[in-house]
Amino acid sequence: QMQLTESGGGVVQAGDSLRLSCTASGRFSHYTIGWWRRPPGKEREFVAAHTWSGGRTYYRDSVKGRYTISRDNTKKTVDLQMNSLKDEDTAVYYCAARADGATALSVRDQRTYTAWGQGTQVTVSS
């Protein structure tokens, strides 16, 4: 069974950059890996995802142009480069895995993800 571990969180100033990394153990092929976040007092929300097949990427609108998701299948890692961070990006960030083959709609449905990391805190202060 796949296990996921996030790293790279921290406290930064608004406008700064931060890079999160998700490292997987176990089978990595044929899984889509997504990044999710839970802002304080809010529900968990989709951030970005990277498919195995075709290397497609998906982003929530509010992070497009600021965040970049990348995948290294040899190292079994999926990174999330976050630039121009804003206060509203403050959240616990999670990586998660689901079977490949998601649609643009289902990749944003957390119920379709079968493995989750423990999360890493990102705090953006202005």
48-67 pLDDT, tens digit each: 999 999 999 999 999 999 99
pLDDT band at 16 (very low <50, low <70, confident <90, very high): very high
> Which residues, other chains included, contact 54 with Cβ-Cβ below 8 Å and sequence gap of 6+?
none
Q: Is 108 helix (H, G, I), strand (E, B) or coil?
A: helix
DSSP output for 2-42: -EEEEE--EEEETT--EEEEEEEES--TTEEEEEEEE-TTS
Task: Tell the burial category of 66 from Cβ atoms under 10 Å away from its Cβ (0-12, 13-18, 19+).
Answer: middle
| pLDDT of 100 over the 90 cut | yes
| pLDDT of 99 over the 90 cut | yes
Beta bridge partners of 49: 34, 58
